[in-house]
Each structure stands twice: as C-alpha cells, then as structure tokens.
Amino acid sequence: GENVEQHPSTLSVQEGDSAVIKCTYSDSASNYFPWYKQELGKGPQLIIDIRSNVGEKKDQRIAVTLNKTAKHFSLHITETQPEDSAVYFCAAHLSNTGNQFYFGTGTSLTVIP
Amino acid sequence: KAGVTQTPRYLIKTRGQQVTLSCSPISGHRSVSWYQQTPGQGLQFLFEYFSETQRNKGNFPGRFSGRQFSNSRSEMNVSTLELGDSALYLCASSLVGEGVTEAFFGQGTRLTVV
C-alpha cells in the first residue's frame, strides 16, 4: 500500500503570516493528492487537490505544490486568518484502488489574532 | 445541493453489541467509502462500495461489514463491539468517472463503546 507522512503535527502562526504543511508519499503510482480541513465536530472538508500531471495549483489564498521526483507535496496558506485554524490532512490516491485514500496524520494549525 | 448525510450523529453502545451506521451520498454520486478516525491511528480506510458491490477493503477484521443499496445509500455494521471500536466513523461520497474523483465527507457518526 501507500504510506503518507505529514509534518509538522502542530503549527502556530500569527494572523497574516503564511503557513506551510508538507507531506511525503512512498508509492510513485499515486496520482491524486487532496487536502482536507477538519474543524472541531465536523467531517473533513476538501479544500484543494492536485493531480500527478500538474506541478502547482492555486485557489485564492491556498496553493498546493507537487514534486513527483521527490514524492512530496505541500499546502501553502497565505495571509492566514483566525478562521483558518483547524486540523489539515493530506492524502494520496494510489492508482487502480477505486476511491481509496491514504491519509497523513494531520496538522493542527492555530492562527493567533 | 445536499451534502453527505450520516445518521445517527452520536451513538453509545455496550461491549458485545452490534451497531449499524447509515450514509446517504450526494445525489448522483455512486461511490461510498467508509473511514474510521481515531486520535491514535488517524483516518483509516474501511471499505468502498460502488454499484452495490464492495470494490475495495481495508485492513479491518470481519466484524466490520457494509452494504450499498440501489439508491447508493450505504450502511456499515460492526458486530461484537469492542472498546477499541470507539471512533468517529466517516463516510465519503464520490462521483465515479474516469480515474479517481473528489471525495466529499459527511460529518461522521461518533461511536462510543462502554
């Protein structure tokens, strides 16, 4: 199977600063990498994703980069706001496994006002 | 457009009992996956159903089972509950097309086994 590692496990930033969360995966056959935000008492919410044929994708203050050679991908949040505080999960999809995802262990982001 | 609906939101069961959880996917989505979320193990894949057939299965004991109905709604069942089964059970719905598609999660069912 696939193994996804995520760092850091906790991250505190001042409001307005940037936050970066990094993930590595082990299987080069992985082809799709979503990021989820989970707030307390809620299910994970898909915030951005990237496919293996793309190196970078941006959506307003959120961007994701993928380095297939190094097998790592990162989430970048710019101009952080208190409402960005949540747990963020990266995930990887291994081709030919239906819709099964392998998740990182999560990063608890706190944005300090 | 309604999201993924999971019922019930909370459950308390006793060791040895069994439990059934329900998931209604987004309208038009035909794939339903189930995950167990615990503080120690994170999000772990249980199984995926597509067109009423289990398409993929994670590494969980046979006490964990599921099914999917013709309207794509899915249920999962856990028999002979153990304390370690206490977790948030999440269902994810996907629109199956060519290749992998985005997965959208419900709010989960919080199961506590006492």
Enter the DSSP assignment of A90.
E
Q: What would the 3-class secondary structure string for A21-73 be? A: EEEEECCCCEEEEEEEEECCCCCCEEEEEEECCCCEEEECCEEEEEECCCCEE
Q: Is residue A104 less than 8 Å (CB to CB) from chain B?
A: yes
Contacts (Cβ under 8 Å, ≥6 apart) of A31: A51, A52, A93, A94, A95, B99, B100
Would the pLDDT of B8 be above 90? yes
The DSSP code sequence of A9-21 is SEEEEETTS-EEE
* Closest residue on chain A to B90 (Cα): A43
On average, the pLDDT of chain B sits at: 94
Tell me the per-residue pLDDT of A29-72, one tens digit each, with 9 for 90 and over.
Answer: 999 999 999 999 999 999 999 998 889 999 999 999 999 999 99
Closest Cα in chain B, distance from residue A5 (Å): 12
Name the residue facing A32 among B56, B100, B107 (closest C-beta). Answer: B100
B39 Cβ neighbours under 8 A, 6+ residues apart: none
d(CA B1, CA A40): 23
A18 touches chain B (CB under 8 A): no
Tell me the pLDDT band of B98, cut-offs 50, 70 and 90: low
Total beta-carbon pairs less than 8 A apart between chain A and chain B: 67
Q: Are strands A62-67 and A72-77 parallel, antiparallel or unpaired?
A: antiparallel
Q: Write out residues 60-89 of B within 8 Å (CB-CB) of A.
A: none
Percentage of chain B lying above the pLDDT 90 cut = 85
Query: What is the rounded distance in angstroms from the CA atom of residue B12 to the CA atom of residue A41?
Result: 17
Residue B101 and residue B26: Cα distance in Å, rounded? 13
| pLDDT at res. A66 | 97
Interchain CB contact of B48 with A (< 8 Å): yes
Collect all residues of chain A within an 8 Å Cβ-Cβ radius of residue B100.
31-32, 93, 95, 99
Give the whole-angstrom CA distance, residue A105 versus residue A9. Answer: 8
Compute the distance between CA of residue B13 and CA of residue B36 in angstroms, rounded to an integer. Answer: 16
Q: Report chain A's mean pLDDT, rounded to a whole number.
A: 95
Cβ pair B114, B57 in contact under 8 A:
no
CB of A73 less than 8 A from some CB of B: no
Residues B111/B85, Cβ–Cβ less than 8 Å: yes
Q: Which of A32, A36, A100 sits opposite B45 (nearest CB)?
A: A100
Per residue in B31-62, pLDDT (tens digit) is 999 999 999 889 999 999 999 999 889 999 99
pLDDT, one tens digit per residue, over B71-83 is 999 999 999 999 9
Residue with the larger pLDDT of the pair B87 and A95: B87
pLDDT score, position B1:
64
- Assess B106–A contact: CB distance below 8 Å, yes or no: yes
